[in-house]
Structure 1
């Protein structure tokens, strides 16, 4: 009987310890309540298909996670990797060569008219690789606030660079991982994302958009009249006017997407390609208005917390947010798609985690 009493006390103490842990153990996030839109799921314009299932796998020289991709006028294909390199494929090659190591975690890429390659490096900030292959650190803060998570960028026809700083709270370098920093920001939903304008002619920068829930992909129309910006944590895409009567104004052009939008890149014939890196997570939507519970969830072991699911999905929209194409692979053979870029007869699809770069034939996709 005495042993049973001792056992009962031990169980009570253990239960109380677990309760206290989930109620009070400090975590990095202070979740904020918000109202998630009802998930429409994969229907209508987003009805499931397997159009991404058949692709040519381009060798990434032993590296993985070709998150950002760009193609130059000579036909060289450039991609960024988790290992901290910008790698490239010579025209017609199916195996990449390591080209420039940034010393951080490069993500978004774009080229200017002179052939310089601009890089959004999540650990460092805005970088430039000149035509001689020399690396320059260009911008590490804006409006007096350090750039903690440089994510994507676009160079407009007038030479200005527009950079997304995904989170001014959760530093990708401090966390040691772009992926885990993104999970923290989305779990908190604190609207720490911003868009930065940088003018290489004056070396001046300014913040033009704020209060975004994980500011991610950014691109521009061919004339440079407006930007399209992916707001990952809110499942939507913004249009920000750079010129004309509405200069400085912004509006949502497509929202309530069935997944988390990552990069967005201008394609051909008025298309803009955005990657949905993962389907939406019901637990996050269901707990949107319950910040206390989200904080408790953050105290779970990492493998039990919400995370990206393997599902291939890229979407083409026009400048007004109308869906033109939805290419999917529900089996996730090419997982966690971050975006796509058109070049000649091919469509190159990027990924957060894949060990290869995917290349598809546009003719087979009816593009």
Structure 2
């Protein structure tokens, strides 16, 4: 009897080892060198400035991932299910303003009053102002080396004064429609670390889309400099923020990083304490960045171990090397100096992905929260 039990146990152990070592996973990870995490020190010293956050109801919706004030003075918020909500600044008179059928992760407004949105499923969209609210696809592919390449994960967008539209395609490997949604696809891309993200430029006058920068590890938030000559781009998987010339075309983030920067692009902020997400221009020269998650020792320790990252993905999802929630947003200036840091170590408001600043408030964006967070400016000591 004991012998049978031991044989069965041995069989189970061998089966488990075979599964952990051989079961197919969707990623082909590469080794990379994670910078040593300095932790919450210096400008990022632990604080509680975000813990007093108040909430605005968004009804039965979730995930106010991007928030902006429209030309009409109303507050617009992109939520799950491809919906864009419109409401007063205090959350009253809330309505569903548009439905794209995908998942809008970012938007801006152009000179015609159109809402220019990046939909992670559909690509770059233009939504006419009321009452028409017609939705048109501006770009869902880009020509690369003579062939058409789909835009798989449109993520963030900004409209320049000359009408050009700059946006990020976070991953050429994992599109949310095919890989379990935006968060699941982002985790796969960052764990794999093939760095297939890119920054794109769309010219409305020609209808042409070009590559500004490629080889980014999950290209995320984007913002323009005050003079319109530079882009700030969050590279989530490398814990850093770039400053890139709007005139750059087909430059490689990997090559420029290895060279220490050049006239077209340079790393503005490196070794950040979390995974940077949305970038939004604020007031008085501030540029806000949210951290979807804090750094995690498990993820950094596995950076140079591609095989073990495959093994990790064969475990139940709850055991993947994804850090717990930690509320954290920062503001920096165009010189790369940190000018504000707000934290909530409890992580009660999940994925603090960005900040929208008005004269009275800071609205806190989130990929999964069931409410929209906000903080009075005086509470943030700005």
Q: TM-score, normalising length from structure 1? A: 0.96
Where does residue 305 of structure 1 map in the other structure? 320
| Aligned position for 2:129 | 131
Q: 1:363 to 1:292 in 2, by over 3 A?
A: same
The size of the alignment, in residue pairs, is 364
Task: Report deviation, 1:248.
Answer: 7.1
Residue aligned with 2:342, SS: strand
Q: Shift of residue 6 of structure 1?
A: 2.2
How far off is 1:259 after superposition? 0.4
Q: Go from structure 1 to structure 2 and tell me whether the alpha carbon gap of 1:95 and 1:50 turns closer, same or farther (over 3 Å shift).
A: farther
Q: Deviations over 1:3-37 (max 9, x none)?
A: 22222222222111111111110000111000000
CA contact (8 A) 1:236 1:257 kept: yes
In the other structure, the counterpart of 1:151 is 155
Q: Which residue matches 2:187?
A: 183
Contact 2:117 2:126 in 1 (8 A): yes
Q: In the TM superposition, what whole-angstrom CA distance separates every residue of 1:298-347 from its partner, at most 9, and x where no partner exists?
A: 10011111224221111001112111100111112322100011122221
**What is aligned with 1:81?**
79
How far residue 262 of structure 1 moved from its aligned partner, in angstroms, is 0.5
TM-score, normalization by structure 2: 0.92
Partner of 1:98: 96
Cα deviation for residue 295 of structure 1 reads 0.6
Residue in 2 that maps onto 1:277: 292
Q: Hey, what does 2:264 align to over in structure 1? A: 249
**Tell me, what secondary structure is at the counterpart of 1:363?**
helix
Equivalents in 2 of 1:219, 1:342: separation in Å? 14
Distance in 2, matches of 1:77 and 1:247, equals: 39
CA shift, 1:95, in A, is 5.7
Unaligned runs of 5+ in 1: none
> What's the CA shift for 1:46?
0.4
The 10-residue stretch of structure 1 (87-96 or 104-113) with the greater mean CA deviation from structure 2 = 87-96
**Contact 2:360-2:376 at 8 Å conserved across structures:** yes
Contact 2:81–2:101 (8 Å) recurs in 1: no
CA distance in 2, matches of 1:41, 1:114: 45
* Residue of structure 1 in register with 2:306 after alignment: 291
Query: Structure 1 residues 51 and 180, CA, compared in 2 at 3 Å: closer, same or farther?
Result: same
1:73-98 residue CA offsets vs partner (Å, 9 max, x unmatched): 33211111112201111354446321
2: CA distance, partners of 1:357 / 1:92: 10
